Chain A
Amino acid sequence: MIRVEHLSKKFGDLTVLRDITTTISKGEVISIIGPSGTGKSTFLRCLNLLDQPSGGSILIDGIDLLDRHTDVSAIRQKMTMVFQSFNLFSHLSVIENLTIGPIRLRGLARHAAEQHSLQLLRQVGLAEKANAYPDELSGGQKQRVAIARCLAMEPEIILFDEPTSALDPTMVSEVLAVIRRLAKGGMTMLIVTHEMDFARDVSSRVFYMDEGSIYEEGTPQQIFEQPQRERTRAFINRIRSFHYLIHGPDYDLYAMNAEIETFCERQILPKNTRHNLLLLVEELLLLHQPLLGKAPLELQIAHSEKHDSLELVFEQYGVPYNPLEQDVHGDDFGIRIIEGITEALNYQYLDHRNRVTATLI
């Protein structure tokens, strides 16, 4: 149904899409996931030429979209799009938003178009809002109207560009429910989304996009449970990490602590966890004190949202030296504190590097 070959897109010097080749058949529901800024939306927008591709070809039912003689508008009627920001026509009522396309483009009589549109509104649960105006609707309602507007054109393919990203969390599910229903009905759909659970159970195939290309693709099972490639794994497990380099004994402790706190806030870690993390860093640094200044000490904090774990790694180049077994301060008080707040604590010597790993409870 859709065949994409060597598709690329550049904005000036910036390459957004590189060499994308894929085939999508009728009835497939494809979720496109991946970090922000990797061209997911651009890929979707290239498919209906809202953005003009810089190279490659797109074939819809065998028709070359980039051929100058192709009636692109006619193809767009069969391949409509739902936007992140809804883009309902603000000067028209809900029902008029639905009927304008069929009346103007498909030559339907007003009455027939209205009947059909009302039926679609009933499908998305908004028939009673038929005469409301877009600015009187909530975000979730707007997006459902936008979906109904697409359906009014009786399309064969629907492109969803982050349909729930602009919604309050409470409204996400009502929109997803509508899309789920469409998927069950056999509509061919491409969905750019950040809702992993949704992508997992609605799609027949998942594209993981990274740096402008389809980095890995497969069934939801493959992508979400056995991702084959490293960046997919990092994304699926949603690991975010923090790095800091300590050059010598006179490092700026307060600046470092402030940065760690910012990182914690961004990850929405509970206050208690944050407190324990800072304590752990402080105690481990005390144990590392004899080594400071000999070589830069590398500090890394990794947070996995999926497993809800926080891992701390101290690494330094040098001769073997296990700070966990040295009695620097004449007591084992520090060690006891560390053990009290960690789940696992390890020392390794690898590639001439001392490495201490701690996992916070």
Chain B
Amino acid sequence: MVFLLAVTGGLQRLPDAAAATAPLAGADDLKDKRIGVLIGSIHDAYATKNFPRATVLQYKTLSDMILAIKTGKIDAAFYVRESLLDLFRNDQELGTVGEPLFTVPIAIGFNRINDSMRQEFNAFLKQARSNGLHQDMVRRWIIDGSTRMPEIANSEANGRLIVGIASDKGLPFTAIEHGRLTGFDIELAERFAAYLGKRVEYRDMEFGGLVAAAATGKIDLISSTLAITAERKKRVVFSDPYYELATSIVALKKNIAGSAAAVQNETTVDAPGFFKGIIQSFYSNIIHENRYLLIFDGLKTTVIISVFATVVGTLGGALVCFLRMSRKPLFSVLARLYIAILRGVPVLVLLMLIFYVVFASVRIDPVVVAVLAFGMNFAAYTAEIFRSGIEGIDKGQTEAGISLGFTRVQTFLHIILPQMVQRVLPVYKGEFISLVKMTSIVGYIAVQDLTKASDIIRSRTFDAFFPLIMVAVLYFLISWTLLQLLEYAERRCDPKLKRREAVTG
């Protein structure tokens, strides 16, 4: 509890330190300040080019960036005006500085070889503009701030359409509400899919990974407020623009010149009681819009990846171990090489390599890729664990087995293996736990696991504390539960315990 108080207290105190600087009136006031942008976004390029003296800090998600503003880590951030308008509906602390900086056309991105689909989309867009659908969408989502997806009739007769999105983009373009996707981009994608008669399948990815995914054919199209830039044009082709997106500067109201909050900011930071705050957080992060469903799904994905990667890794590890201990030099050198490389490459890099390079042109479920990558990594470690386990067993055990008339394989199965399992379990358990925790990086390849679920919630609630603590607790519980299962297995393997149970039972 003391810890919780210290953290929550700290979060509220920090902004005061930033408040000491002069208030912001326009873009010119930012030239030597700290500016936040999303990594790989057009704002990123714009800030670097036009604010050479400013410190540009790159964030992965909007929620991280907003949190940075609120905790005074940056003075202002560049972001899409339309999204900010939605944000301001729920947040009284933030405001825009001056006029929008610039506008950019946004469009749908396609794989370069998929020009026919691009032309179909352009035809669809033309139709939507002429029959008033486009105008209606702009009114509902952007001006009225609607969050409800309309019903869209779709025959779904012509196969599937794989759409790359970034669900943490935020309203009015993309968000998850009540456990389902919603927003302008989503409606656009679904209307286009209905136009084609295809069933939509979403790939929820990091925004920075979308262009690469489209370029390698992982997805059919990107519908994620993608601005047209020369750099992106090299990788993907764009449809006709479907909207002009403005970029605004966002900062804390109390730091903005002329804002009412700047005069008397004390009233806006109206800290609620501690327990009331917790309950409020619990409600907004878990209950509201059925967010527990997101967490539940993420939990399921994390467990699935952990369990299957463990199975793949254990079997793979056994194979690598077998090769490593082979008397044939070719096998053993190959296995050594495998172990050295897999242990020497960060698993995140491996994950992305497999997803974006190895399976570049293959449609493959990212969960499978995750299982494969973690399994391969796990195999390198377990192979060495198994080897040390086997080599630690006295040679006499093998000799005794063989001299009784067992073949080498039978000796291994009936005599060496049971003893090895007993020996390696303690180390194996440790590796297993670190595997479970390691899976938290799968968000990079569009898998919605537990960590990603918390990111999505944070992108809606802009509350860092509660979702992170909750995720930490959940990871602990997963690890602990799976560990109990392994320990149960360990007890089953220990002859002493087995007999003690037999005696008492």
Q: Which residues on B sit within 8 Å (CB–CB) of A85?
A: 394, 396
Q: Within the complex, which residue of B396, B403, B406, B419 is in contact with A91, where a contact is CB–CB below 8 Å?
A: B419
Assess whether B399 is in contact with A87, with CB atoms less than 8 Å apart.
yes
The B-contacting residues of A in range 111-156, CB under 8 angstroms, are 131, 133, 146, 149-150, 153
Q: Within the complex, which residue of B405, B414, B418 is in contact with A76, where a contact is CB–CB below 8 Å?
A: B405
For the complex, count residues of A whose C-beta is within 8 A of B: 31
Specify which of A48, A77, A90, A91 lies most central, judged by the most chain B CB atoms within 10 Å of its CB: A91
Specify which of A73, A74, A87 lies most central, judged by the most chain B CB atoms within 10 Å of its CB: A87
A7 CB within 8 Å of chain B: no
A105 CB within 8 Å of chain B: yes
Number of A-B residue pairs at CB separation under 8 A: 74
Interface string of A153-171 (1 = CB under 8 A from B): 1000001000000000000
A83 CB within 8 Å of chain B: yes
Q: Which residues on A sit within 8 Å (CB–CB) of B414?
A: 100, 104
Q: Which residues on B sit within 8 Å (CB–CB) of A74?
A: 405
Q: Which residues on B sit within 8 Å (CB–CB) of A73?
A: 402, 405-407
Assess whether B418 is in contact with A91, with CB atoms less than 8 Å apart.
yes
Q: Within the complex, which residue of A88, A131, A146 is in contact with B499, where a contact is CB–CB below 8 Å?
A: A131
The A-contacting residues of B in range 419-445, CB under 8 angstroms, are 419, 422
Shortest CB distance A184–B (Å): 24
Assess whether B415 is in contact with A89, with CB atoms less than 8 Å apart.
yes
Assess whether B396 is in contact with A50, with CB atoms less than 8 Å apart.
no
Q: How far is A63 from B407 in the complex, measured between Cα atoms in Å? A: 19
A8 CB within 8 Å of chain B: no
Shortest CB distance B311–A (Å): 24
Q: Within the complex, which residue of B397, B404, B407, B499 is in contact with A149, where a contact is CB–CB below 8 Å?
A: B404
Assess whether B495 is in contact with A93, with CB atoms less than 8 Å apart.
yes
Assess whether B495 is in contact with A92, with CB atoms less than 8 Å apart.
yes
A354 CB within 8 Å of chain B: no
Across the interface, name the chain B residue whose C-beta is closest to A75.
Answer: B405
Assess whether A76 is in contact with B403, with CB atoms less than 8 Å apart.
yes
B410 CB within 8 Å of chain A: yes
B496 CB within 8 Å of chain A: yes
B400 CB within 8 Å of chain A: yes
Shortest CB distance A136–B (Å): 9
The B-contacting residues of A in range 26-83, CB under 8 angstroms, are 48, 50, 73-78, 80-81, 83
Q: Within the complex, which residue of A87, A88, A93, A101 is in contact with B405, where a contact is CB–CB below 8 Å?
A: A101
Q: Within the complex, which residue of B399, B406, B495, B496 is in contact with A83, where a contact is CB–CB below 8 Å?
A: B399
Q: List 22 A-B contacts (CB under 8 A).
A: A48-B403, A50-B399, A76-B402, A80-B403, A80-B404, A80-B405, A83-B399, A85-B396, A86-B396, A87-B394, A87-B400, A88-B400, A90-B419, A91-B419, A93-B499, A101-B404, A101-B405, A104-B410, A104-B414, A105-B405, A105-B406, A150-B404
Given contacts A73-B405, A104-B410, 19 further A-B contacts (CB under 8 A): A50-B402, A73-B407, A74-B405, A75-B405, A76-B403, A77-B405, A78-B405, A80-B403, A80-B404, A83-B403, A89-B400, A89-B419, A105-B404, A105-B405, A105-B410, A131-B499, A133-B496, A146-B400, A153-B404
